[in-house]
Structure 1
Amino acid sequence: MKNFRKEFPILTQNTYLNTASSGILYNSLLEYRQEHDLDFLIGGSIFREQQQHFLTTVKQSIASFLGAPNSEIVLVSNFSTGFNTILEGINTKQKVLLLDEDYPSINFAVLSKGFEVCYAEVNAVVEENIKTAIQKHKPNVFAFSLVQYISGITIDLEFIKELKRDYPDMLIIADATQFCGTKNFDFESSGIDILGSSSYKWLLGGYGNGFIICKQNILESITPTSYINASTHSPYDSSYTNLQARFECGHLDTLTFGSLQHSIHFLTSIGLSNIEKKINELSTYLKDELKIKDLLGKDIIQRTNHSSIFNIKGDQNLFNFLREQNIITSLRGEGIRISLHFYNTIEDIDALFSALYRYR
């Protein structure tokens, strides 16, 4: 796996522990993007004539990558835009269950549209909290991030399947921005009705691209009746009026979605199983060391399974010190967030602890 580090020039000068904030550009993706724009430079509108066919192949790549061959896929500029469009098609009289520490693009979007909201607490027993909240409040929709962006707590995938079996009529919407690209995943059997993701983090797809995957017939159920009625009697081409067009309005950028497809192929060539194994090894090592050094919250210590995102005790001064040591992290919540991808190494983690020792 170390051989892939040469693909990422930033790693030669920095200890990059910040994929949860932004994935990094790599050599072959830069080459692809340069070739794309050279073709556009030479071809102009001729280059764009095959855009619809090309974007269809991007959807096929997403479907294959995430185990969603029989699903409806729409391309969006980012998860937040897609999620807001989804909410526009859901009756605001419906009750929505949220997680209390979840990403603002989820929680604020739901609140701002006037839904009745209930919450489950994010802690060591978050799954039990979710179950209790559903039993108590009987929500129509559960919207959440698979991986919590501050703490790195991961909602158990088997638990989601159980939820769908127990509450088949509850619409389950998952933000997978901090998840996709870290392990093998099968959407069809996941129990999730709608899964969305931006692609600039673990998927390494760069900015300006993402996707929404819906189980069959779900897309129609979240489309406003007024839209369906208008499209039925519209004289316009179906590319302007179909269910996907509500999300894919306007001309989509083949550069950004081509970057996503290129990165999907890149990650596939490495192997999601290999990536998952490497991330798990790094995550276990980091978690054990953080526990020894008393830098980890009790909720994370009590969890059996965790992502590769950790939040350690620290403030602006420590953050600034780490940056001076070329160790790239993020300030999130009440601490410093560290995140590890397959291109990281045990040596990166040791460099972090060496810097923490010098600081303290």
Structure 2
Amino acid sequence: MSLSRREAIGAALALPLATQVARAAPAVSLPDRTGFASTPVAYFDNASTHPISLGAQAAINAYVAGRTLDPAAAARKPVDRAGVIAKFARLVNADPDEVTWVQSTTMGEQAVLRALGFPEKGGRIVTDTLHFYAAFPMYQEMARQGVDVAWVMAREGRIMPQDMARAITPGTKLVSLSLVSTYNGFQHDLKSVCDRAHSVGALVYADIIHAAGAVPVDLHGSGVDFAATATYKWLMGDFGLGFLYARRGVLDALPRTEYGYYGFAAPDAPPGIGLSPPQTHVFPMDPPGGAPTSYVVRPGTLGHFGTGTYAQGIAGALDHSLDRIAALGVPAIQAHAQSLIGELCEGLRAKGYAIITPPGTTTPLLTALLPNARALLTDPLAKAQVRLSLHDHHFRISPSIFNDGRDVERLLNALPRA
């Protein structure tokens, strides 16, 4: 079978990544179309919201059955939520006790800012204009309240390492960035940033929502101090549940600012996230005590940042999805996306589109500049049943494990010339 020129270019671009996993091919090959519900839509908006797989849907349905007191559900083994934390930790090269649940990436980032005393204690924060743009107002508000916020501006679709290094001056307290940019897929050299920050006594927070599950992530290897992600993108979970990582030892010098049900336990409670609430001393038949409760602070990130209840039904979906990601292997997932992006790049350029994702990027996000993109492309894409991320003056394509060459062909055919 002969390859088209587009397919040949896509395959050539993906080859360096594919060779990393050639000896450990998963039982199911990519694209994985059977793992997801059949749809007439060529869906390329995975960087906004990833579809839930059929296996994850079954896990959610099982949770709902239990919540409705379905007798059949009572016999099912409950989701090992500590095991889900452990699976995520393995995915990003962290230890389970360095990870806890959060509602969202933003909630994790804000918890880190509170722990560091922002904005009340002031200090210098370095961030950049390829960080999550919805976080911009947060740092602008910090600046209004007296925090020294330094913005590193993007050049040629990148944050230049020398620009970041110049901004991280002695006295910097925090460097905050997105490991992979939601705007155009640019990826930081996280270890280089952390090395520079640590050399002046600063800590580093990374938003990894566009990295975890999509590209290899090595939190321990990078030296990053904090990281957070939600699960509705490349982890194939849903809204309302994410993970917060804090490097072992980094919390020792920070005050506790989060207080909640999961952060405290009975004095004799085993470690982990199981239910073992503090021992009360105020109700009938309670043992006596000198305070309303006796408790210990749970160890690790859970004890420092654990608060209230979380979206437990999504934990079941993640239990399935994290297994699937591990079975396929992130390098294979990344290589598959790059093979499609190679075809897309050639097709977009042939139609006159200006690609603003930096050359050499190996993340699954491809962004093109187009004035009035939303107005010009909404109707033709809807007619062709193609979905991607449309903005006022750019559009973003983000292929995932179920996309194939037919989807690429339909998208390119639906796009008018620029």
Instruction: Decide which of 65, 90, 98 is 1:64's aligned counterpart.
Output: 90
Instruction: Decide which of 300, 304, 318 is 2:357's aligned counterpart.
Output: 300
Q: Following TM superposition, by how much is the alpha carbon of 1:256 offset from its aligned partner in structure 2, in angstroms?
A: 1.5
Q: Which secondary structure does the structure 2 equivalent of 1:197 belong to?
A: strand
Mean CA deviation greater in 92-101 or 15-24: 92-101
- Given the superposition, is the C-alpha separation of residues 324 and 219 from structure 1 closer, same or farther in structure 2, using an over 3 Å criterion? farther
Contact 2:191 2:221 in 1 (8 A): no
- Kindly indicate whether residue 287 of structure 2 is the aligned counterpart of residue 261 of structure 1: no
Instruction: Decide which of 321, 329, 345 is 1:287's aligned counterpart.
Output: 345
Q: Following TM superposition, by how much is the alpha carbon of 1:24 offset from its aligned partner in structure 2, in angstroms?
A: 0.3
Consecutive unaligned residues of structure 1, counting only runs of 5 or more, are: none
Q: How far apart in 2 are the matches of 1:243 and 1:110?
A: 24
Partner deviation per Cα, 1:173-226 (whole Å, 9 max, x = no partner): 000111111123221111211111011001101121100111102234443479
Q: How far apart in 1 are the matches of 2:80 and 2:70?
A: 16
Contact 1:83 1:106 in 2 (8 A): no
Q: How far apart in 1 are the matches of 2:352 and 2:310?
A: 48
Contact 1:79 1:175 in 2 (8 A): yes
- Kindly indicate whether residue 272 of structure 2 is the aligned counterpart of residue 238 of structure 1: no
- Kindly indicate whether residue 135 of structure 2 is the aligned counterpart of residue 76 of structure 1: no
Q: How far apart in 2 are the matches of 1:305 and 1:86?
A: 29
Instruction: Decide which of 109, 123, 135 is 2:155's aligned counterpart.
Output: 123
- Given the superposition, is the C-alpha separation of residues 66 and 242 from structure 1 closer, same or farther in structure 2, using an over 3 Å criterion? closer
Contact 1:97 1:118 in 2 (8 A): yes
Letter matched to residue 5 of structure 1: R
Contact 2:86 2:96 in 1 (8 A): no
Q: Aligned runs of 1:266-277 on 2, under 5 Å?
A: 266-277=324-335
Instruction: Decide which of 220, 226, 236 is 1:194's aligned counterpart.
Output: 226
Letter matched to residue 177 of structure 2: F
Q: How far apart in 1 are the matches of 2:301 and 2:195?
A: 30
Partner deviation per Cα, 1:69-115 (whole Å, 9 max, x = no partner): 27511101111112112211112312101112432443322333433
Q: Aligned runs of 1:1-360 on 2, under 5 Å?
A: 1-2=29-30, 4-10=32-38, 12-42=39-69, 54-69=80-95, 72-92=98-118, 93-113=122-142, 114=145, 115-124=147-156, 125-126=158-159, 127-135=161-169, 139-160=172-193, 162-163=195-196, 167=199, 169-224=201-256, 235-238=293-296, 244=302, 247-297=305-355, 300-301=357-358, 303-312=359-368, 313=370, 314-332=373-391, 334-357=393-416
Q: Which secondary structure does the structure 2 equivalent of 1:300 belong to?
A: coil
Q: How far apart in 1 are the matches of 2:318 and 2:258?
A: 33
Q: How far apart in 2 are the matches of 1:324 and 1:119?
A: 41
Q: Which secondary structure does the structure 1 equivalent of 2:293 belong to?
A: coil
Q: Percent of aligned positions with the same letter in both sequences? A: 19
- Given the superposition, is the C-alpha separation of residues 296 and 307 from structure 1 closer, same or farther in structure 2, using an over 3 Å criterion? farther
Contact 2:92 2:217 in 1 (8 A): yes
Q: Following TM superposition, by how much is the alpha carbon of 1:18 offset from its aligned partner in structure 2, in angstroms?
A: 0.2
Q: How far apart in 2 are the matches of 1:70 and 1:246?
A: 14
Q: How far apart in 1 are the matches of 2:301 and 2:329?
A: 33
Q: Following TM superposition, by how much is the alpha carbon of 1:266 offset from its aligned partner in structure 2, in angstroms?
A: 1.4
Q: Following TM superposition, by how much is the alpha carbon of 1:281 offset from its aligned partner in structure 2, in angstroms?
A: 1.7
Letter matched to residue 263 of structure 1: S
- Given the superposition, is the C-alpha separation of residues 247 and 284 from structure 1 closer, same or farther in structure 2, using an over 3 Å criterion? same
Q: TM-score, normalised by structure 1?
A: 0.85
Q: Which secondary structure does the structure 1 equivalent of 2:213 belong to?
A: coil
Q: How far apart in 2 are the matches of 1:9 and 1:258?
A: 18
Length, aligned pairs only: 349
Letter matched to residue 248 of structure 1: G
Q: How far apart in 2 are the matches of 1:213 and 1:178?
A: 15
Q: Following TM superposition, by how much is the alpha carbon of 1:123 offset from its aligned partner in structure 2, in angstroms?
A: 2.6
Q: TM-score, normalised by structure 2?
A: 0.74
- Greater per-residue helix proportion: 1
Q: How far apart in 2 are the matches of 1:141 and 1:55?
A: 31
Mean CA deviation greater in 57-66 or 126-135: 126-135
Q: Following TM superposition, by how much is the alpha carbon of 1:59 offset from its aligned partner in structure 2, in angstroms?
A: 1.5
Q: How far apart in 1 are the matches of 2:60 and 2:374?
A: 38
Letter matched to residue 247 of structure 2: K
Letter matched to residue 102 of structure 1: H
Q: How far apart in 2 are the matches of 1:241 and 1:226?
A: 14
Q: Following TM superposition, by how much is the alpha carbon of 1:317 offset from its aligned partner in structure 2, in angstroms?
A: 2.7
Q: Following TM superposition, by how much is the alpha carbon of 1:128 offset from its aligned partner in structure 2, in angstroms?
A: 2.7
Contact 1:72 1:219 in 2 (8 A): no
Q: Which secondary structure does the structure 2 equivalent of 1:311 belong to?
A: strand
